[in-house]
């Protein structure tokens, strides 16, 4: 059984951060396959937290923590391949001190995995590798999946000038194709692709090819 912590400052910090690459709000878990998708995307990327009991608009809803924990554990073992190891934190939010009325929020902590790539299994039994970009969980491309098996967590890396420029462009525009990068940076496609591959191998950018062409994001 989880012991609740009454930590208003911690809860306030979670709310202030909002949904991003490392954090996701859920009012409650209604689908094991959908929550598995989010869990796998965090495990495949840099880790993160799923905060259950909070709406997308940051309104605290509260949940039955034991029920939600049970759902998460089912998702991590039955809908994630290989299973994803997670930890739990229980936050007690005092609504009314006089009546001792509280709402509970469950925080699921997902570390960056050493067993990536993890596949999320949908309700039809199909398996997909997801990674986290900005505040979304998106299917990874074939090359990105290969890179995941070769990338170590939190690896240190020194960037050259072109790699820095590529990262700056992606930071400014969120997503770009290789051709767009070549045009904006005025470099050959061969040179750009060489830098892109290095950044992919080091886990500094992500590649997606589930649309008509490959594109890259931070």
Same domain? For 198 and 144 the reply is: yes
Query: What is the predicted pLDDT for the residue at 133?
Result: 86
Query: What is the predicted pLDDT for the residue at 155?
Result: 52
Give tens-digit pLDDT for 73-98.
999 999 999 999 899 999 999 887 77
Same domain? For 74 and 96 the reply is: yes
In a domain, 15, yes or no: yes
Give the CA distances from residue 97 to residues 5, 103, 104, 143, in Å, rounded to whole numbers and listed in that order.
Answer: 15, 12, 15, 54
Same domain? For 27 and 110 the reply is: yes
The CATH number of whichever domain residue 49 belongs to comes to 3.30.950
Same domain? For 150 and 202 the reply is: yes
Kindly state the tokens that stand for 126.
């199909």
Same domain? For 121 and 39 the reply is: yes
- Owner of token pair 């208003």: 8
In a domain, 150, yes or no: yes
CB-based contacts of 86: which residues, under 8 Å, 6+ apart? 39, 72, 76, 108, 109, 110, 111
In a domain, 2, yes or no: no
In a domain, 3, yes or no: no
CB-based contacts of 217: which residues, under 8 Å, 6+ apart? 133, 134, 170, 174, 175, 205, 206, 208
Nearest Cα to 23, choosing from 105, 94, 140? 105
Same domain? For 85 and 13 the reply is: yes
Kindly state the tokens that stand for 159.
């960037």
SS (H, E, C) the chain: CCCCECCHHHHHHHHHHCCECCEEEECCCCCHHHHHHHHHHHHHCCCEEEEECECCCCCECCCCHHHHHHHHHHHHHHCEECCCCCEEEEEEEEEECCCCEEEEEEEEEECCCCCCCCEEECCCCCEEEEEEECCEEEECCHHHHHHHHHCCCCCCCCCCHHHHHHHHHHHHHCEECHHHHHHHHCCCHHHHHHHHHHHHHCCCCEEECCCCCCEEEC
Same domain? For 62 and 94 the reply is: yes
In a domain, 37, yes or no: yes
Predicted structure pTM score: 0.72
pLDDT along the chain (218 residues), means of 10: 80 91 94 96 92 92 94 95 92 84 93 90 94 89 79 60 79 76 83 82 72 72
Same domain? For 89 and 172 the reply is: no
- What's the total number of domains in the chain? 2
Query: What is the predicted pLDDT for the residue at 210?
Result: 59
Nearest Cα to 44, choosing from 84, 71, 72? 84
In a domain, 210, yes or no: yes
Same domain? For 154 and 175 the reply is: yes
Same domain? For 37 and 109 the reply is: yes
Can you give the residue range of the structural domain that contains 55?
Answer: 8-133
How far apart CA 13 and CA 26 sit, in angstroms, is: 16
User: Final residue of a domain: which of 86, 114, 133?
Assistant: 133
User: Final residue of a domain: which of 116, 133, 150?
Assistant: 133
Same domain? For 118 and 154 the reply is: no
In a domain, 59, yes or no: yes
* 8 A C-beta contact, residue 88 and residue 109: yes
């Amino acid at each position: 059984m989880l012991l609740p912590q009454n930590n208003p400052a911690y809860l306030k910090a979670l709310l202030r951060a909002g949904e991003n690459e490392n954090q996701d709000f859920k009012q409650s878990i209604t689908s094991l396959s959908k929550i598995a998708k989010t869990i796998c995307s965090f495990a495949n990327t840099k880790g993160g937290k799923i905060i259950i009991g909070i709406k997308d608009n940051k309104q605290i809803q509260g949940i039955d923590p034991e029920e939600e924990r049970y759902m998460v554990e089912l998702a991590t073992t039955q809908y994630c391949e290989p299973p994803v190891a997670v930890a739990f934190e229980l936050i007690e939010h005092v609504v009314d001190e006089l009546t001792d009325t509280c709402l509970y929020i469950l925080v699921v902590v997902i570390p960056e995995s050493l067993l990536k790539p993890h596949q999320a299994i949908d309700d039809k039994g199909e398996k997909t590798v997801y990674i986290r970009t900005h505040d979304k969980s998106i299917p990874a491309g074939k090359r990105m999946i290969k890179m995941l098996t070769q990338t170590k967590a939190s690896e240190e890396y020194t960037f050259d000038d072109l790699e820095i420029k590529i990262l700056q462009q992606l930071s400014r525009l969120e997503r770009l194709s290789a051709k767009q990068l070549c045009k904006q940076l005025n470099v050959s496609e061969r040179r750009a692709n060489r830098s892109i591959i290095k950044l992919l191998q080091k886990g500094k950018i992500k590649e997606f090819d589930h649309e008509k062409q490959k594109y890259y994001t931070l």
